[in-house]
């Protein structure tokens, strides 16, 4: 068989075919590169959006038109949120979810803790403890502590085993509570923190040593025990020097240095042993010790006396009968040494007058006496059982008589009979109810004599003293009533009060606006003067009626209502000016009680009035003024209250009642 060959391709055709092949390859490459660029840009845009919304954990991959979102989401909510962001950037049809959710992390078991608040003998428990049974056992242990008054259980329970060191820490805490009174204890496994207050530095040292000695070896202890100085209020000092020698009755100091200075001053005055001062907060000035030193020196210079500090108030009572020149010099020197913050009251009592002997048993020599002058000066003399009673008597006297003008020259005598303090205080209570008088207390009697300003005062004093004295003991009371001292005796009579009101109305008028119950401004001064009179008669026992009256023009019902409103307006005006109106009443009479002829303008003007009158005891203010009552109107022809005449009216118009 004979073979035939294909015609040979021409050179141009080959070149054309090569060009087309190259173009096709270039187009294919461009398409592929374009697709890659689009995929990359889409991935970058989506990654940026996820990062911006806080989903940086998400990973994005493209495969053709498909977009794969993968990664580990913290939880299901984060997964859905990330897919939502992706769906906003890429068509959901192109998205493929390859996100996995991280397994949930179980919460750790709660740590046990306990806090105990100790206030005296009561304990409060707060915290998280291992079970209700364990909590009940702890409460029972705390209630068994000596002196415990109660346990407040605010603990929460959890079903979890106790951590190592927990029970040892709790056992130590229960033991520690028995050693303290005021504390806060925080307990954790193997650790205890104690914050407490000790009464003194010595107590603090003792408590710290005891707690460290009882501490288990596997428990860590944090201690914060403080021993603050107590707050002393009032900040006091009381010192006396008399024939019995020096006596320190009360002493406060701001610190160790101040206490040393005060005790040195007292020792220089002769009291070398048994004296001490309480250290605390509350001194009115840092120079407290300096002021006490200066005052003790003044007492020594006077040869005796008594000094009392109560915060910044200082009272110096010199020895009775001391020379005036010596007293003036000592007081002047003391004022020069005292800091400015102190207020000094210095008293020089008169020398005591020897009292006559009352009998062979010498009861008067061991008695107590008090006098109150008409000017209010009060002197306390004699003996009391101890310094505590002395201070109680002085405080009682200051409360009942006032500090000004009160002088006491009291001594202590522990040999006084039982019940002495009650008899002294009962006598002072009676003396305080008198304007002036004297009190004598002896082992066998309590005698009170004086002057009162009320006739019933004698019975009141007897009743008050009887309530305080021991059963069966009757005081000797001799009280004279002086009418000149009775404030009620100088009060005006009810009639005099009404006469004063009438005098005011005679000089002025209570004017109302036409046809209304509004008091005209011009009548304000009249109301002011009546109010002044009625305030001065506030203690006078009387019943007063304010009556409103009109003329006969107008209808009776309208006149009655208008008169009632005007009477109430006057009553309200007096009340607004501070007048007690409980004993006053307002009543309108309309035109029923004329005092002049209503046929004339002058008569109608007089009938338009306000009247003040006294009510009889049994009167209920019904009807017109009965016989025996006093109607208060101005003297002469002038009405008790004037009302502005109405403006000119046309005939037939209504009139102002």
CB 241 within 8 A of CB 247: yes
Report which secondary-structure segment, H or E, holds 528. Answer: helix 524-536
Average of per-residue pLDDT values in the chain: 81
Using the structure block, give the residue that is written with the tokens 């209920």: 620
Q: What percent of the chain has pLDDT over 90?
A: 20
pTM: 0.33
Rounded CA-CA distance 413/385 in Å is: 5
- Three-state secondary structure string covering 73-131: ECCHHHHHHHHHHHHHHCCHHHEEEEEEECCCCCCCCCCCEEEEEEECCEEEEEEEECC
Lowest model confidence (mean pLDDT) among 98-102, 297-301, 349-353, 648-652: 648-652
Cα atoms in the Cβ-side hemisphere of radius 13 Å centred on 178: 12
Q: Taking every pair of C-alpha atoms in the chain, what is the biggest distance, in angstroms?
A: 188
Lowest model confidence (mean pLDDT) among 245-259, 562-576, 641-655: 641-655
Query: Does residue 260 or residue 616 have the better pLDDT?
Result: 260
pLDDT confidence band for 339 (50 / 70 / 90) = very high
Instruction: Using CB atoms within 10 Å of the CB of residue 116, give its burial: 0 to 12 exposed, 13 to 18 middle, 19+ buried.
Output: buried
pLDDT of 258 over the 90 cut: yes
Rounded CA-CA distance 450/448 in Å is: 7
Instruction: Using CB atoms within 10 Å of the CB of residue 81, give its burial: 0 to 12 exposed, 13 to 18 middle, 19+ buried.
Output: middle
Q: Where are the beta strands (DSSP E) in 475-608?
A: 476-481, 544-549, 584-590
pLDDT digits (tens, 9 = 90+) for 525-563: 889 999 999 988 888 888 999 999 988 888 888 889 999
CATH code, residues 494-632 = 3.30.1330.60
Contact partners, residue 150, CB within 8 Å, separation at least 6: 121, 122, 123
DSSP state letters, 363-375: TGGG-EEEEE-TT
Rounded CA-CA distance 643/607 in Å is: 9
Percentage helix, strand, coil for the chain under 3-state DSSP, each rounded to 5: 35, 25, 40
Classify the C-alpha dihedral 564-565-568-569 as positive or negative. Answer: negative
Rounded CA-CA distance 428/433 in Å is: 9
DSSP state letters, 197-259: E-SSHHHHHHHHHHHHHH--TT-EEEEEEE-PPPBPSS-EEEEEEETTEEEEEEEEESSHHHH
- Three-state secondary structure string covering 151-210: EEEEEEECCCCCCCCHHHHHHHHHHHHCCCCEEEEEEECCEEEEEEECCCHHHHHHHHHH
Pick from 244, 228, 241, 227: nearest CA to 269: 241
Q: Which residues partner with 237 through β-bridges? A: 251, 309
CATH class of the domain whose range is 36-101? alpha beta
pLDDT digits (tens, 9 = 90+) for 468-487: 888 767 788 888 888 777 77
Q: Work out the angle at residue 504's Cα, subtended by the Cα atoms of residues 501 and 505, and round it to the nearest 5 degrees.
A: 90
Q: Which fold has domain 113-226?
A: hypothetical protein tt1634 (3.40.1520)
Contact partners, residue 312, CB within 8 Å, separation at least 6: 284, 285, 341, 342, 343
Lowest model confidence (mean pLDDT) among 245-254, 272-281, 645-654: 645-654
Rounded CA-CA distance 595/643 in Å is: 15
Residue ranges, CATH 3.30.1340.30, the chain: 36-101
Q: How many helices (H) and strands (E) does the chain have?
A: 15, 25
Q: Which fold has domain 236-347?
A: hypothetical protein tt1634 (3.40.1520)
Residue ranges, CATH 3.30.1330.60, the chain: 494-632
CATH of 364-485, one of 3.40.1520.20, 3.30.200.20, 3.40.50.150, 3.40.50.1360: 3.40.1520.20
> Which range among 35-49, 168-182, 450-464, 466-480 has the greatest average pLDDT?
168-182
Look at residue 311 and give its three-state secondary structure: coil
Cα separations in angstroms, 626 against 136, 584, 600, 607, 616: 84, 17, 27, 19, 9
- How is residue 618 written in tokens? 């049994």
Contact partners, residue 387, CB within 8 Å, separation at least 6: 238, 247, 249, 250, 412
CB 587 within 8 A of CB 593: no
């Amino acid at each position: 068989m004979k073979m035939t060959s294909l015609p040979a391709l021409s050179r141009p055709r080959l070149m054309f075919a090569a060009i087309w092949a190259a173009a096709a390859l270039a187009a294919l490459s461009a398409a592929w590169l374009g697709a890659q660029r689009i995929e990359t840009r889409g991935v970058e845009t989506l990654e940026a959006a996820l990062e911006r919304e806080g989903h940086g954990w998400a990973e994005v991959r493209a495969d053709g038109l498909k977009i794969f979102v993968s990664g580990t989401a913290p939880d299901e909510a984060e997964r859905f949120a990330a897919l939502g962001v992706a769906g906003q950037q890429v068509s959901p049809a192109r998205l493929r979810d390859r996100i996995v959710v991280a397994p949930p992390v179980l919460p750790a078991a709660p740590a046990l803790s306990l806090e105990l608040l100790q206030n005296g003998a009561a304990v409060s428990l707060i915290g998280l403890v291992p079970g209700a049974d364990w909590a009940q056992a702890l409460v029972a242990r705390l209630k068994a502590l000596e002196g415990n008054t109660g346990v407040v259980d605010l603990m929460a329970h959890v079903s979890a085993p106790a951590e190592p060191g927990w029970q040892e820490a709790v056992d130590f805490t229960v033991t520690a509570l028995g050693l303290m009174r005021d504390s806060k204890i925080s307990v954790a496994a193997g650790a205890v923190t104690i914050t407490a207050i000790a009464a003194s530095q010595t107590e603090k040292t003792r408590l710290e040593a005891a707690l460290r000695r009882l501490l288990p070896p596997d428990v860590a202890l944090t201690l914060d025990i403080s021993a603050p100085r107590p707050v002393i209020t009032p900040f006091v000092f009381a010192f006396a020097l008399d024939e019995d020698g020096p006596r320190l009755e009360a002493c406060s100091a701001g610190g160790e240095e101040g206490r040393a200075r005060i005790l040195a001053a007292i020792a220089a005055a002769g009291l070398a042993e048994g004296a001490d001062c309480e250290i605390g907060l509350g001194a009115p000035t840092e120079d407290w010790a300096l002021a006490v030193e200066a005052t003790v020196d003044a007492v020594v210079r006077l040869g005796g006396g008594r000094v009392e500090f109560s915060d910044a108030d200082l009272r110096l009572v010199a020895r009775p009968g001391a020379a005036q020149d010596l007293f003036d010099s000592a007081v002047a020197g003391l004022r020069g040494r005292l800091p400015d913050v102190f207020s000094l009251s210095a008293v020089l009592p008169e020398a005591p007058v020897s009292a006559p002997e009352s009998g062979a048993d010498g009861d008067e020599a061991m008695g107590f006496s008090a006098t109150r002058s008409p000017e209010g000066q009060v002197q306390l003399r004699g003996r009391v059982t101890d310094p505590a009673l002395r201070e109680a008597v002085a405080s009682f006297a200051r409360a009942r008589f006032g500090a000004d003008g009160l002088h006491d020259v009291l001594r202590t005598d522990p040999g006084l009979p039982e019940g002495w303090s009650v008899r002294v205080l009962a006598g002072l209570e009676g003396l305080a109810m008198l304007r002036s008088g004297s009190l004598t207390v002896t082992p066998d009697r309590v005698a009170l004599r004086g002057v009162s300003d009320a006739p019933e005062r004698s019975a009141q004093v007897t009743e008050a003293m009887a309530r305080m004295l021991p059963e069966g003991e009757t005081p000797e009371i001799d009280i004279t009533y002086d009418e000149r001292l009775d404030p009620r005796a100088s009060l005006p009579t009810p009639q005099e009060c009404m006469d004063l009101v009438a005098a005011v109305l005679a000089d002025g008028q209570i004017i109302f606006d036409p046809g209304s119950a509004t008091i005209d401004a011009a009548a304000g001064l009249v109301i002011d003067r009546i109010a002044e009179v009625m305030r001065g008669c506030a203690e006078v026992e009387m019943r007063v009626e304010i009556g409103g009256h009109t003329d006969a023009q107008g209808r009776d019902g309208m006149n009655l209502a208008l008169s009632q409103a005007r009477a109430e307006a006057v009553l309200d005006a007096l009340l607004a000016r501070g007048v007690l109106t409980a004993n006053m009443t307002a009543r309108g009479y309309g035109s029923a009680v004329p005092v002049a002829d209503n046929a004339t303008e002058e008569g109608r003007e007089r009938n338009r009035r306000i009247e003040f009158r006294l009510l009889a005891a049994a009167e209920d203010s019904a009807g017109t003024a009965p016989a025996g009552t006093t109607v208060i109107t101005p003297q002469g022809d002038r009405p008790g209250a004037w009302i502005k005449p109405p403006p000119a009216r046309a005939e037939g118009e209504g009139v102002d009642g």
